[in-house]
Chain A
Amino acid sequence: MASDKIYDKIHEQSPWQDITEGNKIFEAATSKDFCTGEWRTATPMWAVERCKQCLLCTPVCPDSSIPVTAGKREDFDYDHCKGCGICAKVCPFGAISMREGK
């Protein structure tokens, strides 16, 4: 399927002639398109029944991996969560626990 995404034009099979000059990337926020959650070695688990929706966890996440819709948090974005554990630390209600591994 045709796409105007930079990684569809330049990828790991691209010949050197197709590399942009100075590796310039003519797009913003491309980090969203890469599943950097693969790096994770510990995983936050959300216990919905304990969650009071206080939303203290969302702003402390360094990777914006706790999506909020209509004023309520949803489950983690595991494509980008690095498992740092700050959310678990900040939760006053024990609604987030860290599990070893991905």
Chain B
Amino acid sequence: MAVRERLSGNEAVAYAVKQINPDVMPAFPITPSTEIPQYVANYIANGEIDTEFIHVESEHSAMSATIGASAAGARAVTATSSCGMALMWEELYVAASNRLPIVLALVNRALSGPININADHSDSMGARDSGWIQIYAESNQEVYDNFIQAFPIAEDKRVHLPVMVCQDGFITSHGVENILLVEDDKVKQFVGEYEPEHYLLKETERMALGPYAVSNYYMETKRAQRQAMCSAREVILEVAARFEEMTGRKYSFFEEYQMEDAEYAVVIIGSAAGTCKAAVEEIRAATGKKVGLLKIRVFRPFPEEEIAKALSKVKSVAVMDRSEMFSATSGPLGAEVRAAMYQAHSTAEVVNYFYGLGGRDITVSDFKKVYDNLEMIAKTHVVTGMYEYIGLRSAQSEEV
């Protein structure tokens, strides 16, 4: 029987670390992810696990040590947020190109500047091109479930890529929710013993890792990395199927909420999906309007064909971005969803919204306005611009 608990998102990740008992965890504290290494250090101090915790002097060192441990043959994890991950930047790419199955618990927080400690996706969206698999969560349950699934995904021979398990800072990381924990032995069995084929400390094999790749090799190496990202698709689904067998909880690339007959759809990542679901329920109950939600779970590899298919019957789509990229067209999710729909010859109207930057609240009534706008756009076929804002104060009323 699963264990009923109430945990914050950070507690849930730390608890999963305890259940998995990885070999090495180098980490450096940064709000709002600090609690994760803190709780893990407690488990170690209490003798509950024998993970080697490495106290490092920065996040640059945290990721470097994680890479070193993983290359040596250890199952290695770390946790960070925002500027902490920005300081890991150089190593994120190295971890991916060295094909190391590292798992990083990322608690999403706005990047400086201006300095801000609250949730948005600018940290992980900035790292979207680093070659890491990115999995996002709406709730604490999903954070916990995704974290456990990350290991068999990363460590699968067809993949061998690092995985970033993302959750929204404070909203899920510090918010306490009811949660169903999987029994220790089942988690251990699910992730299995880590038995890498090639590693630096292997006595019977000589190996060098991370050599200089001149221009004659760099492009081929990147193409091979892309292949691993492509292969990750089937592995993510296989692992999700295995997880569903164990827990009954179903996961895929994204969740389709009331999408079967939907005419107006919102595409969103992370915790605000819960707020949007409330709006969907209220609108359907009050008006019968066919509104739905597509919540992205896996942003890398980006499931473009599946998304385009899921949106193939809607009249209009609002893509919600919780990070700015200063593109003339849209935010990162907006750009990729639009590209996916264009390639699939979609005729649906698309509008892109920026919301929740630096922890700005988004409410059920905000989402109702979004759905109203979607209905209008579907009728008039007039989309006022490539992007709009939710909750922005402006002297020009049409901007809001």
Interface membership of chain B positions 90-104, coded 1 if the CB is closer than 8 angstroms to chain A and 0 otherwise:
000000011110000
Q: Separation in Å of the A6 CB from the closest CB of chain B?
A: 10
Residue A45 lies at the interface, judged by CB distance under 8 Å to chain B: no
Interface pair A25/B208, CB less than 8 Å apart: yes
CA distance A94 to B217 in the complex (A): 44
Interface membership of chain B positions 198-225, coded 1 if the CB is closer than 8 angstroms to chain A and 0 otherwise:
1000000111111101001101110110
Report the stretch among A14-22, A56-64, A65-73, A81-89 that lies at the interface. Answer: A14-22
Which residue of B has the minimal Cβ distance to A6? Answer: B208
User: Size of chain A's interface in residues, with CB distance under 8 A?
Assistant: 15
CA distance A17 to B226 in the complex (A): 11
Which residue of A has the minimal Cβ distance to B100? Answer: A22
Interface membership of chain A positions 21-58, coded 1 if the CB is closer than 8 angstroms to chain B and 0 otherwise:
11111111010000000000000000000000000000
Residue B160 lies at the interface, judged by CB distance under 8 Å to chain A: yes
Interface pair B220/A15, CB less than 8 Å apart: yes
Which residue of B has the minimal Cβ distance to A15? Answer: B220
Q: Which of B208, B219, B228 is packed against the most chain A CB atoms within 10 Å?
A: B208
Q: Which residues of A contact B99 (CB under 8 A)?
A: 21-22
Interface membership of chain B positions 71-105, coded 1 if the CB is closer than 8 angstroms to chain A and 0 otherwise:
00000000000000000000000000111100000
Interface pair A21/B160, CB less than 8 Å apart: yes
Question: If the complex has contacts A12-B216, A21-B99, A21-B160, are A26 and B205 also in contact, measured as CB distance less than 8 A?
Answer: yes
Interface pair B208/A24, CB less than 8 Å apart: yes
**Residue from the list A12, A19, A26 in contact with B224, Cβ < 8 A:** A19
**Residue from the list B98, B205, B206, B216 in contact with A22, Cβ < 8 A:** B98
Which residue of A has the minimal Cβ distance to B223? Answer: A16
Q: Which of B98, B217, B223 is packed against the most chain A CB atoms within 10 Å?
A: B217
Interface pair A25/B207, CB less than 8 Å apart: yes
CA distance A17 to B227 in the complex (A): 9
Which residue of B has the minimal Cβ distance to A29? Answer: B206
Interface pair B221/A19, CB less than 8 Å apart: yes
CA distance A28 to B224 in the complex (A): 24
Q: Separation in Å of the B206 CB from the closest CB of chain A?
A: 4
Q: Which residues of A contact B209 (CB under 8 A)?
A: 22-25
Q: Separation in Å of the A77 CB from the closest CB of chain B?
A: 22
Complex interface residues of chain B between 97 and 130 (CB less than 8 A to chain A): 97-100
Q: Separation in Å of the B331 CB from the closest CB of chain A?
A: 32
Question: If the complex has contacts A28-B206, A28-B208, are A23 and B216 also in contact, measured as CB distance less than 8 A?
Answer: no
Q: Separation in Å of the B150 CB from the closest CB of chain A?
A: 19
Which residue of A has the minimal Cβ distance to B98? Answer: A22
Q: Which residues of A contact B217 (CB under 8 A)?
A: 12, 19, 23
Which residue of A has the minimal Cβ distance to B94? Answer: A22
Q: Which residues of B contact A28 (CB under 8 A)?
A: 206, 208
Q: Which residues of B contact A14 (CB under 8 A)?
A: 220
Q: Which residues of A contact B228 (CB under 8 A)?
A: 21
Interface pair A22/B97, CB less than 8 Å apart: yes
Q: Separation in Å of the B137 CB from the closest CB of chain A?
A: 28
Question: If the complex has contacts A12-B216, A19-B224, are A24 and B198 also in contact, measured as CB distance less than 8 A?
Answer: yes
Interface pair B220/A22, CB less than 8 Å apart: no
CA distance A69 to B209 in the complex (A): 33
Interface pair A26/B206, CB less than 8 Å apart: yes
Interface pair A23/B213, CB less than 8 Å apart: yes
Mark A residues whose CB is within 8 Å of B: 12, 14-17, 19, 21-28, 30
10 contacts between A and B (CB under 8 A): A14-B220, A22-B97, A23-B211, A23-B213, A23-B221, A24-B209, A26-B198, A27-B208, A28-B208, A30-B208
9 closest Cβ contacts across the A-B interface?
A: A22-B99, A16-B220, A16-B223, A12-B216, A25-B208, A28-B206, A22-B98, A19-B220, A21-B99
What 13 new A-B contacts, CB under 8 Å, besides A22-B97, A23-B217?
A: A12-B216, A16-B219, A17-B224, A19-B220, A21-B99, A21-B198, A22-B99, A23-B211, A23-B221, A24-B207, A25-B207, A26-B198, A27-B206
Mark B residues whose CB is within 8 Å of A: 97-100, 160, 198, 205-211, 213, 216-217, 219-221, 223-224, 227-228
